[in-house]
Amino acid sequence: MNICIIGAGYVGLTTSAALAEFGHLIHCVDINSEKIQKLQNGNVPIYEPQLKELICKNSDKITFSTNLPDSIQKCTVIFVTVGTPGLTDGSTDLSFLQSVFTTIAQHLQSYKTIIIKSTVPPGTNQKMHQYLLAKGVSPFMYNIVSNPEFLREGSAINDMFHPDRTVIGIAEDDKRSEVIIRDIYQSLSSPFIVTSWNGAEMIKYASNAFLATKISFINEIARVCDFYGADVLDVAKGLGADPRIGPLFLQAGIGYGGSCFPKDLQALQHIAAAKLVKTPILDAVHEVNSTQLEWYIKKLQEELPSIQDKKVTVLGIAFKPNTDDIRHSPAIALIQKLHSLGADVHTYDPKASLPADLRHIAIQHKSLKSSYIDSEAVIIATDWPEICQLDWKHVQAHIKGNLILDGRNCINREEVLRFGLNYKGVGRG
């Protein structure tokens, strides 16, 4: 099948690589010509494990271009994977999606299945349908399908091949699209959940909101654990052993970040408020997350009452391991906070970089070992394997102070203590 994928971002590239591996011919389009040029030259502009390899392996089945009209003509199926960022009032910026539909409306000459993969608020698929009709496009020329993505950065390729479910939202009178989608994804063995447009859109928001709730819940429990000498790792283990709860997404830390949870939670609050529905649970999830870093910094301040001009090392810049994505990264918020407190901040990340406008507030080292030399404190902000497996003997021999703040509860506390270092985790007494 000839498939057009609009938006060569984290989701669009992963989808392109996986669908090519399934045997489809992919026409991946982006408005960013620099990005497309890189891709045409065999360079993948983002770091996502296995992505580059999979794109290279399928290079005969993937073309990259900026020519959207041309790709629309060539393909019967169009995936829309452009970004849908949050706006300051919590609503979703649908301008990229809108602009894609404007181009589709102008160039649609034969029947297309238009699949919206980007995360969009309930009502958006309907809105795009109304838009095409208003532009004079015949309703017999297309069907719109909502097919939200559940890809975790860092394991997106694996998630693409082994999804827990494939959600599709279709219009009531649409008899064609389910067959087409099942055909596209025929290599997958996961169940299909077929619902309405709004149902599919809500499944995406509810899923991310629930996962964010689990994280804020365990972070709140961690705060209580601290005062009662209980270890939140044991609590999470005991809690997660109940299959009704499950063990995943119960890792306490300095809060969730990334391009999805913060914006999707806010979007859900926003769409509920628009209908005068109160969201006390979502409000609390946001409240815990937005104060988690502040709460953790107090631990640093208890140990180092004045950090003015003190050298402090933050390990990790990305919002989570195995990605170079820094969107809404708690690590960056931590670096900014330490800088505002007057600390001399040093940092290291295996793949992510400080954005250009923040390079003056911290020194980013090229090697893990050089980043903590003579530091008063080392703070773990992202649980990269390389950071979790730090050589504590080397750390102990090279740092000035002895404080290790494990902001992701990912290092071996006993090992750290064995070298005479002072360990402070999240909710670990």
Residue 286 found at the interface with ligand UDX (CB under 6 A):
no
What's the order of all strands across the beta sheet hosting 112-116?
62-65, 25-29, 2-6, 77-80, 112-116, 142-146, 166-170, 192-195
Contact call for residues 347 and 363 (beta carbons, < 8 A)? yes
Does position 352 bind ligand UDX by CB under 6 A? Answer: no
Residues 6 or more apart whose Cβ sits within 8 Å of residue 329: 257, 258, 317, 318, 319, 352, 382
- Nearest distance in Å: CB 281, ligand UDX: 17
Cβ-based nearer residue to ligand UDX, 211 or 421: 211
CB of 374 to ligand UDX, least distance (A): 28
* Range 201-240, binding ligand UDX (CB under 6 A): 208, 211, 215
- 90 vs 401, beta carbon nearer ligand UDX: 90
Which range binds ligand UDX by CB under 6 A, 82-90, 223-231, 303-311, 413-421? 82-90
Neighbouring C-alpha atoms within 13 Å toward the C-beta of 307: 27
Q: Given the complex with ligand UDX, which of 104 and 378 has the nearer CB atom?
A: 104
| Residue 260 is a binding residue for ligand UDX (CB under 6 A) | yes
Least separation in angstroms between CB 305 and ligand UDX:
28
Tokens found for residue 391: 């050589």
Q: How far is residue 295 from each of residues 254, 290, 339, measured CA to CA in Å?
A: 9, 10, 17
Residues 215, 9, 51, 359, CA torsion sign:
negative
For ligand UDX, the binding residue among 32, 65, 279, 396 (CB under 6 A) is 32
Active site residues: 260
Q: Among the candidate windows 50-58, 126-134, 135-143, 244-252, which touches ligand UDX by CB under 6 A?
A: 244-252
Instruction: Please list every residue from 174 through 193 that binds ligand UDX, using CB under 6 A.
Output: none
Q: Integer distance in angstroms from the first to the last C-alpha of the chain?
A: 57
* Nearest residue to ligand UDX, scored by beta-carbon proximity: 9
* Cα-Cα-Cα-Cα dihedral sign, residues 304, 309, 310, 313: positive
In 394-403, which positions are buried (b, 16+ CB within 10 angstroms) versus exposed (e)?
Answer: ebeeebebbb
- The verdict on 152 binding ligand UDX (CB under 6 A) reads yes
Indicate whether 96 belongs to the interface with ligand UDX (CB under 6 A): yes
User: CA torsion sign, 155 to 160 to 161 to 165?
Assistant: positive
- Of 139 and 191, which CB lies nearer to ligand UDX in the complex structure? 191
Smallest separation, CB 254 to ligand UDX (Å): 8
- Is 21 a binding residue for ligand UDX by CB under 6 A? The answer is no
Which of 58, 113, 118, 166 is in the footprint of ligand UDX by CB under 6 A? 118
Q: Which residues of 173-192 are buried (b: 16+ CB within 10 A; e: fewer)?
A: eeeebeebbeebbeebeeee
Binding residues for ligand UDX, rule: CB under 6 A, are 6-12, 30-32, 35, 81-84, 96, 99-100, 118-119, 149-153, 208, 211, 215, 249-251, 253, 256-261, 319-320
